[in-house]
Structure 1
């Protein structure tokens, strides 16, 4: 069986993405919010890691090997991979901070942090299959490395273990936490269903996807898990319903901001950083916020963009570059940066609506800002 790691290697945050929503939203300085967020992510990873390793260790050796690969802990031979990219642990950090914001010990949220990390990994395994994405974190996706059937099975195993980890949480709040996770999962699946159906709809005219419809989908698909993560921590920490609701709302709007930046990276991100080809989302014909905002903006560039998309059956490299230029000319990139900024501001207002402990509130605010200056 795969040798599972016992300690987390620090993951340094990337430099700011020039011209991204992060640059428009914040400009962290050394020793400021960015350093605070990095420290918070490291602290939470180290708190959660032993329980996460234990949970993965409960899986069948084969699905456990695939899980360790997906998490960036090992290569396909099951050998620990010190160069693997395991991600920052955003969702587990939100769970821990959710408990601390309610005045509880962050350790109370560890079962919830494990559950959301496993669910996040399971969703990535299945998303990569559905989207035919061959790469994940600059390595072959699990379905490319092991096969489609095994990858589906590994995702199923992670999902089952996530529920089991949460159901076995000590204390009086496990049942409420499981209900919270189930609501989150149902919403997540609804968002993925909407995203897949978008592929069948036209770029323009009757039945076209509009920015508001995309925002709704992203709130279900991306926002649900971020909101659910912080809500799970609050539930396990014994927070009152009002606090749980405010924190979940903040996480959902953070998810929308997060998705907006992801959409920028999906078109203009550096392949050396994103691990995906340039203009990856355009090549796949994905209906993302920059393109939809550009189409909705009107004007010559928007009309030319619509004509190009409607007449193109397959977007190759040259066409993708032309489409990306039209999206930018029609204001899609700027509109997406502004969307990220609006959603971040709304998330912060939701935090202010809740009676949170001072330190955790500051750390959440720092983390929210930091997450818009990232790659995955």
Structure 2
């Protein structure tokens, strides 16, 4: 007789929820259902922050944060494989030269020296004001396209998605995803909470150390830009960058506004982002304009695709990866808490998903 699959419920369908659900579903031992209020296929919303990532893979791990380094390294390996020609996700990624300009000579995040084609930049190649710089080959990704790929991959593997607004984790412990479908309750064998910013208000979690880091960006169509570049300055709420995408768009960024919950792009911030980016990288302006005169931000408006705005789920102590057994009306299951990735959910997604899966499986084996 075939072994009955264990029922797993994942709360949240952002990049962390989708990646974790795929890791479980593709093992062949579980039937995974994601319960989420917003899906990748829904209309873009600032409340679904994964859609608005920059994004490229560049570790943010501190030199003594071995756990974060491990997550980021595994994720980069997976992204590199996905960006290989012929991979189903190939067109979600692009490999480009990346230049990181530092305004304080404090070194760079540990792990970047292992990036492909890593080099120290000569002083002559630095942008005005920078005192130190590095270059390497980076992987940039198109978040909406990549989320669509993850969504389809999960469903193809046999996973299920259910629209539902979870008020308390005990709703899921007792009834599983069925309670959001009007069906008889089916208590899951385990629950994984990938609620992002929702972890602040989700009953049974209510982690008040989770707050919004508001990220505003501007997307341009500039297929002539074949590089990525970042201006890094400590304690600066605006970190300027250019990130290219496979489809010819580039992302200009961006803000890091802690505990800022405003859900719409601010016009003055848009102007500041474009002015700063153009001053640092005039190459983002159309070539025909640059041939005739010095470009201004007025030359960028015709190529603006959209304004980006996401509320990133920052947690003071970093990513929460813990497991607890929770009971609800006679049902009992391990709950893995997997949230708090801040602005670096994509960069750590596959590595942190592996850790979350290990926590869940260890809890089930120990029961």
TM-score by length of 1: 0.24
Higher-Rg structure is 2
Larger strand proportion of the pair: 2
